[in-house]
Amino acid sequence: MKFKAYQNVADSIASLYTIPIPLIDIANDEDIKVIYDDYGMDTFDGMTWYEPSQRRFFIHINTERGNNADNTKGRFTLAHELGHYFIDHHRHALETGKMQPHIHYYNPFGKNDEWIIEREADYFAANLLMPKDEFMKDVKGEEFSGQMIQSVASKYNVSFSACAIRYMNMNLVPIMLVYAVDGKIKWQMRSDDFPFYLLRYGKTKVPEGTVMGDYFYKGDSSCGKQSEVVFAGDCFHTYREEQNGLEFFEYCIPFGKHAFSVFWEK
């Protein structure tokens, strides 16, 4: 698939730098001007545009939406915008005005025309921030846990969720990732080999018998940030009665109205 080419581009750039990948240095080395400013809440996380009169690329990063030079959200946003510069057909489209300086929100299941372009830039970003060979060395053969993901995420200065998605795409231990806001599922992803497709109530509400459920319905975060045993029947849409007692681990990170959980088989 074509995405492989973006991995190679990201790998070759990453190989010139050290971990955690210094994105600002990469931008400077390419003579890209990166501007951090408050562009309002309902606008964009990052925006890349080409200024023909200066023959130069500019990347605007929106601090109002929580993006900073050193935090994990801001780093992923900048890596994504660099994807629009380093991926040939994105850069060409920006230079010729075929692609408008566009707006990036993180929504892995968006349906607009720019969806593919955005997924390409996200894929590039993950590969740039967490180069495949190095990442594989860190995780292969390691027992899976939330703590393991957290420690690898710290090394690369990426978010827990970005690191967990990267891990999921390596096809090692099968995992399911769930992100919910106010008790509603925003998105869910799974390894191809994960034994269940859906949560207990599909993509609607968070199941009560999960650590996430305790957080949203009881305000109880005491089981957060640790591996908790949960049962398949409480968490997933199972296919047979006898699967209900299967034990899984859930590692949940609650924050404000949000919670992010990883599930894997015990």
Residues that bind Zn ion (CB under 5 A): 104, 121
Q: Which residue is nearest to Zn ion (CB)?
A: 104
Of 88 and 220, nearer to Zn ion (C-beta) is: 88
In the complex with Zn ion, the residue whose CB is nearer, 75 or 104, is: 104
Residue closer to Zn ion by CB (options 50, 216) is: 50
CB of 102 to Zn ion, least distance (A): 6
- What is the DSSP annotation of 113-171? TTHHHHHHHHHHHHHHHS-HHHHHHHHTTSPP-HHHHHHHHHHHT--HHHHHHHHHTTT
Q: In one letter, which amino acid is 237?
A: H
Cβ–Cβ < 8 Å for 161, 260: yes
Q: For Zn ion, give the closer residue by CB, 80 or 166.
A: 80
Give the three-state DSSP class for 103.
coil
Is 251 in contact with 262 (CB distance < 8 Å)?
A: yes
**Residue 82, amino acid:** L
**For residues 115 and 255, which CB has a smaller minimum distance to Zn ion in the complex?**
115
**What is the nearest approach in angstroms of Zn ion to the Cβ of residue 81?**
7
Strand partners, 37: 62
Angle at CA of residue 178, ends 64 and 180, nearest 5°: 50
Shortest spacing between CB 157 and Zn ion, in angstroms: 20
Distance in Å, CB of 63 to Zn ion, minimum: 18
CB of 255 to Zn ion, least distance (A): 24
d(CA 106, CA 46): 10
